[in-house]
Amino acid sequence: MSFGGIEAGGTKWVCAIGGAGVEPARVEIFPTTTPAETIGRAVEFFAAEPDLEALGVGLFGPVEVRRDSPRWGTILTTPKPGWEGTDVAGALARSLRVPIALDTDVNAAAVGEWRHGAARGVDTFVYVTVGTGIGGGVFVDGRPLHGLQHPEVGHMMVPHDRSRDPFEGSCPFHGDCLEGLASGTAMRARRGRPAEELGDDPEAWELEAEYLALGLANVVLVVSAERIVLGGGVGGAPGLIERVRTRLREILAGYVDAPALRDMDTYLVPPGLGSRSGVVGALTLAGDSC
């Protein structure tokens, strides 16, 4: 039995063939360009698999994840040019004629980490990715959280000390939300160079840790997360998670008296699957749908 998985991000798509949630047997990665070109390349990849049973998709968003909605699988108010209103699930289903299981890209990554990675053994947790943008997959009682749409961890508002950081923020919708202040896009706009070129700049990384810790404190207090997994290209920068752990403990100030928070090294953790969280989660979604 063969399953397909797509980690469909705003920068690149990762397509894979494998078993239910196991290490992929075949992978192809290509950039996210126009909807027609990108979806077409994915269809070509999966059409070559004769025994494909189902396809799991972790899709960048915002995306309609309610299965009973006529817009299910359609990208909504994204800043990604040309993608708003794209019916990704419908296009894949019509071309491949297999069942489609779909969630957000970060929820798919959370599924992968819950089943096979750093969130095994906990049923209420949050997977946060910090890269070009910031997203969060929220798991409550062993299920991805959906509601009006899906949680938008990156767009929560956090305190912005403009005397320390006069940067206006990079989010085209909210300006200085968490993503607008702490994403890779924000770091590049503020410093004039990407995060990977900042080296060990204490001012840059202390500010980054401050914003992330403020956002994660909200996650602790609102979701009551039993664990937080911090991933993404910026989230995995050397030394950042240690700074965030220290500042998060200070911000919480002992208010949440829970055993899990007494050891930040096991509470705020990197992904157990590394960069494969999303595509492994997509494969898991496909397997679980059969």
Q: pLDDT digits over 49-63, tens only?
A: 999 999 999 999 899
Element (H, E) at 2: strand 2-8
Bridge partners of residue 33, in order along the sequence = none
Please report whether residue 154 resides in a domain: yes
Cβ atoms of 127 and 269 closer than 8 Å? no
Q: Are residues 100 and 126 in the same domain?
A: no
Please report whether residue 227 resides in a domain: yes
Please report whether residue 114 resides in a domain: no
Expressed as residue numbers, the domain containing 247 is 119-270
- Give the residue-averaged pLDDT of 192-209: 94
What's residue 287's pLDDT?
92
Q: Are residues 240 and 183 in the same domain?
A: yes
What's residue 257's pLDDT?
94
97 has a pLDDT exceeding 80: yes
Residue percentage of the chain with pLDDT more than 70: 99
Tell me how many domains the chain contains. Answer: 2
Q: Are residues 262 and 279 in the same domain?
A: no
Q: Are residues 158 and 265 in the same domain?
A: yes
- Pick the range with the lowest mean pLDDT from 22-31, 36-45, 215-224, 249-258: 22-31
What's residue 22's pLDDT?
61
What secondary structure does DSSP assign to 243-285, as a single string? HHHHHHHHHHTT-S--GGGG-HHHHEE--TTGGGHHHHHHHHH
Please report whether residue 199 resides in a domain: yes
Q: Are residues 86 and 125 in the same domain?
A: no
Q: Are residues 80 and 172 in the same domain?
A: no
88 has a pLDDT exceeding 80: yes
Please report whether residue 181 resides in a domain: yes
> What are the angstrom distances between the C-alpha of 286 and each of 1, 202, 232?
11, 43, 23
- Give the residue-averaged pLDDT of 72-99: 95
146/249 Cα distance (integer angstroms): 28
What's residue 1's pLDDT?
73
Q: Are residues 204 and 255 in the same domain?
A: yes
What's residue 79's pLDDT?
83
- pLDDT class for 266, splitting at 50, 70, 90? very high
- Give the residue-averaged pLDDT of 143-160: 92
Q: What is the mean pLDDT of the chain?
A: 95
14/259 Cα distance (integer angstroms): 38
Q: Are residues 238 and 253 in the same domain?
A: yes
Burial of 189 (0-12, 13-18, 19+ CB in 10 A): middle
For the chain, the first-to-last Cα distance in angstroms comes to 10
Q: Are residues 192 and 72 in the same domain?
A: no
- What CATH number did the domain enclosing 211 receive? 3.30.420.40
Q: Are residues 148 and 238 in the same domain?
A: yes
Please report whether residue 101 resides in a domain: yes
19 has a pLDDT exceeding 90: no
Q: Are residues 92 and 133 in the same domain?
A: no
Please report whether residue 70 resides in a domain: yes
Please report whether residue 27 resides in a domain: yes
On the question of a cis peptide bond just before residue 159, with omega within 30 degrees of 0, the verdict is: no
- pLDDT class for 23, splitting at 50, 70, 90? confident
What's residue 20's pLDDT?
56
- pLDDT class for 290, splitting at 50, 70, 90? confident
Q: Are residues 147 and 40 in the same domain?
A: no
270 has a pLDDT exceeding 70: yes
- Give the residue-averaged pLDDT of 188-208: 95
72/89 Cα distance (integer angstroms): 7
21 has a pLDDT exceeding 60: no
What pTM was estimated for this model as a whole? 0.94
